Amino acid sequence: MTTATATSTRIFNFAPGPAVLPEQCLKQAQQDIWNIADSGIGVLEHSHRGSVIKKVFEEAEADCRKVANISDDYAVIFQQGGSTLQFAMCPMNFLTPDKTADYLHTGAWSKKAIREAKLFGNVHLAYDGTGDNFDHIPGPDEINYSANPEYVYYCDNNTIFGTEWSAPPQTDHLLVADMCSNMFSRPIDINRHAVLFASGQKNLGPSGGTLVIIRKDFLEKANADLPVMLDYQTQVDKGSMLNTPPVFAVYFMGLVFKWILANGGLKGMAKRNDEKAKLIYDAIDGSDFYQAVARPDSRSRMNVTFRTPNEDLDAKFVAEALENDLSGLKGHRSVGGLRASLYNALPMDGAKALAQFMADFAQKNG
Ligand code: PMP
């Protein structure tokens, strides 16, 4: 049996989400649930209108801006409803039946976003990866943009298939990015985007809170007369406190932002994430036993998808990995096989332990 760290009984968690969180943040949260900022009251029990939680929100926003170098041209808000609600909120705010947005269809999550957008406006499929079973990210020659889209939508990391854009799509139009599963895992060019969003549960914190970054001059074009909860402008005006917000999720995101800043910022995250992913892809490429699911030029650093020679061995791999304190490695039901999620908070030792286990398993079963 391996142990995840010398100091704890926790095991390595490769789940796609909810997923591993930084140990320091979990320990801080344990204390703050009991008594935050010496107030004698825990973070879960404070009014969101009081000074303690007000400060929590202000710090979370300020640290978020520092992490990604987000200028005053952008609003930063914390929402409920997950990334799935953003699939609808974005077209609801920015499309009408006579307007078109371009969507780059790279997998199960973009499919859901496209469905929602069609409820509010026209969707031009600038790329459709269905025929290739979403095994890659399109190159510029595979993409056909429409004449004048309101925005170009892409999913930066396809959690299920294990593909990831190495850089944002090349277009002069403003982008909308689903960064649910790779937000803050590497430096981001915020300024090419109209909207970026990511729910908690992967790199950012627990589920229940969603980070949305919106360009203010784009927001000026938003539709009026929307239900207030679904109106970006109202949410921005109310400082994410239109109604009772998901206080704990935002509090925890704030801890994660501080953790990122203390650990080399986005460059530090990127370096460690590249190293961890390389360990696992090398273990796949270095053996005839494993087969990668995604095309090599499109591989995700966050979700590594692969297979053993057959489904029985996939199941045996998952079971024996768990006996070795390596959890959450079963592939998504639509893809099958195996998936190792290597989010920011997964320690390097976790990736090393998995690579070693993969080598041992291939030797015994190959
Ligand atoms: N987009 C992507 C890329 C995802 O991985 C997920 C969740 N796994 C979602 C959207 C949906 O997120 P939520 O469940 O928070 O709505």
| pLDDT exceeds cutoff 90 at 187 | yes
Q: Is the CB of 324 under 6 A from ligand 1?
A: no
Question: Which one from 63, 156, 202, 276 is the annotated catalytic residue?
Answer: 202
Q: Is 165 a catalytic residue?
A: no
Same domain, 86 and 232: yes
For the cut 70, the answer to whether the pLDDT of residue 4 exceeds it is no
Shortest-distance Cα residue to atom 7 of ligand 1 = 180
Tell me the per-residue pLDDT of 94-140, one tens digit each, with 9 for 90 and over: 999 999 999 999 999 999 999 999 999 999 999 999 999 999 999 99
Q: Say whether both 187 and 238 belong to one domain.
A: yes
Is residue 279 located within the same domain as residue 343?
yes
Which of the listed residues 87, 111, 115, 159 should we mutate to test ligand 1's pocket, taking the one with most ligand atoms within 8 A of CB? 159
Q: Is position 109 annotated as part of the catalytic site?
A: yes
Give the orientation angle of helix 108-117 with respect to helix 82-94, to 10 degrees. Answer: 40
pLDDT in tens, 33-84: 999 999 999 999 999 999 999 999 999 999 999 999 999 999 999 999 999 9
CB atoms within 10 A of CB 173: 18
Tell me what pLDDT residue 39 has.
98
Q: Are residues 194 and 333 in the same domain?
A: no
| Whether residue 275 is found in the same domain as residue 240 | no
Asked if the model's pLDDT at residue 165 lies above 80, the reply is: yes
pLDDT at 250: 98
From atom 6 of ligand 1, which residue's Cα is the shortest distance away? 180
Evaluate whether 168 touches 140 at the Cβ level (below 8 Å). Answer: no
Q: Among 262, 286, 314, identify where a domain stops.
A: 262
* C-beta of 84 in contact with ligand 1 (< 6 A): yes
Distance 197 CA to ligand 1 centre (A): 10
Q: What is the pLDDT of residue 2?
A: 43
How many domains is the chain built from?
Answer: 2
Query: What integer pLDDT is reported at residue 111 of this predicted model?
Result: 98
What does 263-314 look like in DSSP terms, one character per residue?
A: TTHHHHHHHHHHHHHHHHHHHHHT-SS-EESS-GGGB-SSEEEEE-SSHHHH
Q: Is 14 a member of any domain?
A: no
Average pLDDT over residues 216-237: 97
Q: Whose CA is nearest to atom 5 of ligand 1?
A: 159
**Confidence at residue 3, expressed as pLDDT on a 0 to 100 scale:** 42
Instruction: Give CA–CA dist 22/258, Å, rounded.
Output: 11
- Assign 9 a pLDDT band (cuts: 50, 70, 90): confident
* Residues 56 and 93 grouped into a single domain: yes
80 shares a domain with 213: yes
Q: What pLDDT is attached to residue 91?
A: 98
Q: Which atom of ligand 1 is nearest to the CA of 200?
A: 15
Q: Is residue 8 very low, low, confident or very high in pLDDT (cuts 50, 70, 90)?
A: low
Structural domain including 336 reads 266-365
CATH of the domain at 270: 3.90.1150.10
Do 233 and 292 fall within a single domain? no
Q: Are residues 306 and 203 in the same domain?
A: no
Q: Answer yes or no: are the C-beta atoms of 70 and 76 closer than 8 Å.
A: yes
124 and 99 in one domain? yes
Q: Residue 6: pLDDT band by 50, 70, 90 thresholds? A: very low
Same domain, 243 and 157: yes
Q: Which atom of ligand 1 is nearest to the CA of 156?
A: 3
- Measured between alpha carbons, how far is 267 from 284 in angstroms, rounded to an integer? 26
Mean pLDDT of 163-181: 97
Strands across the sheet containing 175-178: 74-79, 210-215, 193-199, 175-178, 152-155, 100-105, 122-128
Reading phi first (left if > 0) and then psi (alpha if -120 to 50, else beta), residue 134 is in left
Q: pLDDT tens digits for 268-319?
A: 999 999 999 999 999 999 999 999 999 999 999 999 999 999 999 999 999 9
Q: Is the domain of 248 the same as that of 350? A: no
Closest alpha carbon to 355 in 271, 270, 269, 284: 284
